[in-house]
Amino acid sequence: MKQISQSKKIWKRFCRNKLAVLGLVVLIFFVVVSVCAPFLTDYDPNRSDLRKRNQPPSEAHLFGTDDMGRDIFARTLYGGRISLSVGLVSVGISLSIGVVLGAIAGFFGGMVDTVIMRIADVFYSFPFMILAITISSIFGPSIYNTMVILGVLSWPSSARLLRAEFLKLKNTDFSLAATTIGAGPARVMFRHILPNAISPLLVSATLGVASAILSEAGLSFLGLGVPPPAPSWGNMLNRARPLHILATMPWMWLPPGIAIFVIVLSINFVGDGLRDAFDPRQVMD
């Protein structure tokens, strides 16, 4: 009952932030629309029809067609699947690495902590996008490579955040009591300390999804992310780079551009709401 009560308090705090609730609604809308893409359009996002190239929005093609005659509405819907998947999977990889290394560093301290944090410093010493571009150019553009690259390069922030929480919690009464009754290090770390340290990590992960979506868009825009013909919002913008398209055919770049803007803004709103909701200093009315 206590856990249910605490969950209700967190939900109430979250709902008090109207922008966070709006962001959550918009985020759910994008996820549902992307999942239901086959039911919302009859067009194959990769099917070309050169007779219908560069057509403006019409009843037949709601968002118009691109330079290959492909339906932009269909590509925007299916592109959401890939862009959101890259964001979620890459953050999942980042958390998997960061949670393990951050927990080990914070719990054991000493030389173990020093080695792990110096490895994290090595990752921090290189500009994120420059390193991502370099690795992508070596291994080649691929949706799976993009997920792994973004996930592996992002773990230091999660590890540092969790390490700080473990340093605060490892000497608390409940942690020492678990050690006293014979619980092993792994059980103390992941059964007793981690559930109490996970809140700030959830907020960081939420914002990390937005960052990963932007990074995927940047890599795809440069031709190093999701390879064509698979649609993603980033490589749709890449197709619209020529000046004459930017100036005279806005329907080619507005849909993916607006989608990225709205989804990233919504995720940031949700992250802010989660941060306030998990803040113990928040006082309920």
Domains of the chain in sequence order: 82-269 (1.10.3720.10)
State the pLDDT at residue 281. 53
Model confidence at 220: pLDDT above 70:
yes
Q: How far is residue 193 CA from its own chain's centroid?
A: 25
State the pLDDT at residue 63. 92
Lowest mean pLDDT among 133-137, 231-235, 250-254, 255-259: 231-235
What is the average pLDDT across 193-199? Answer: 80
The band of 272, judged by pLDDT with boundaries at 50, 70 and 90, is confident
| 50, burial (CB in 10 Å: exposed 0-12, middle 13-18, buried 19+) | exposed
State the pLDDT at residue 285. 45
State the pLDDT at residue 280. 56
pLDDT, tens digit (0-9, with 9 covering 90-100), for 241-268: 888 888 889 999 999 999 999 998 998 8
State the pLDDT at residue 5. 64
Rg over alpha carbons for the chain, rounded to the nearest Å, is 22
Model confidence at 61: pLDDT above 80:
yes
The whole-chain average pLDDT of the chain stands at: 86
| Beta-carbon count within 10 A of 39 CB | 9
Model confidence at 143: pLDDT above 60:
yes
State the pLDDT at residue 168. 85
What is the average pLDDT across 14-19? Answer: 88
Percent pLDDT > 70 in the chain is: 95
